[in-house]
Amino acid sequence: MFTRTESFREFVRFYPMVSIIVTIHLVLYLLTILPIFPNNWFFENFSGVNLYIMEGEVWRLITPTFMHSGFSHMLFNSFSLILFGPALERMLGSGKFLFVYLFSGFIANLATLLLEPLTYTHVGSSGAIFGLFGYYIAIIIFRKRMMSQQNSQIILVLCAVSLIMTFLQPNINVSAHLFGLLGGFLVGAIPYFNKKELSDSIQTTTFWASSQRKKVSFQSPIKVLIWATVIILAILGFWR
């Protein structure tokens, strides 16, 4: 479920929304380092600055979700999204996945506005990514058949480790992490699927997981090594 076996073209075709979000991460990062715009123009206009939000720049409740403070910040968050986003996009569809992602990011940024000082400045997609974990936890609690016990354990362990590191590492937006997680969980707990949609989702997920298992056995050692490296980098990103 969280092991990627697709080629690049297959990944883009199967998970368009994850691909678009990661592309936005990369493009915005490049625009912040290339001498196309004045120094720090993107950070000055799109980062989360509580004072400016209070003065009416409400787009800053969304745009910080796509901005990052450096290459490693952008890289690790993008790797995390590549690892944990596709399965959820497959379950929900691209539109609902985007809603969960943006809603979680919005709640994270709103909590930052309400709980942090007016001078507080922040960027990063961690709040939205925690929202994906929150949605997974809602699935584990309310729709157990949609995830195997092994995958459920992976999500719970990673979520627990990430929460612990949230409080241990410096320069972490604790409010965004906690409320992003809560936002994703609340969306996942709302029974907006009717019985037919939930049944279709379970069948689609089961078929997809089965097909993935069949494909894994035919993967080359190089591809397995590449994705193992990606997983290690994502875990290191949480520890950072």
Active-site annotation holder among 152, 175, 177, 201: 177
Evaluate whether 1 touches 87 at the Cβ level (below 8 Å): yes
Residue 177 among the catalytic residues: yes
Residue 73 among the catalytic residues: no
DSSP output for 72-95 = HHHHHHHHHHHHHHHHHHHHH-HH
Cα–Cα distance, 76 to 12 (Å, whole number): 19
**Which of 68, 1, 78 has the alpha carbon at shortest distance from 233?**
78
Active-site annotation holder among 19, 126, 162, 175: 126
Cα–Cα distance, 108 to 125 (Å, whole number): 9
Within 10 A of 123 (CB to CB), how many other CB atoms are there? 25
Evaluate whether 135 touches 185 at the Cβ level (below 8 Å): yes
| Active site residues per annotation | 126, 177
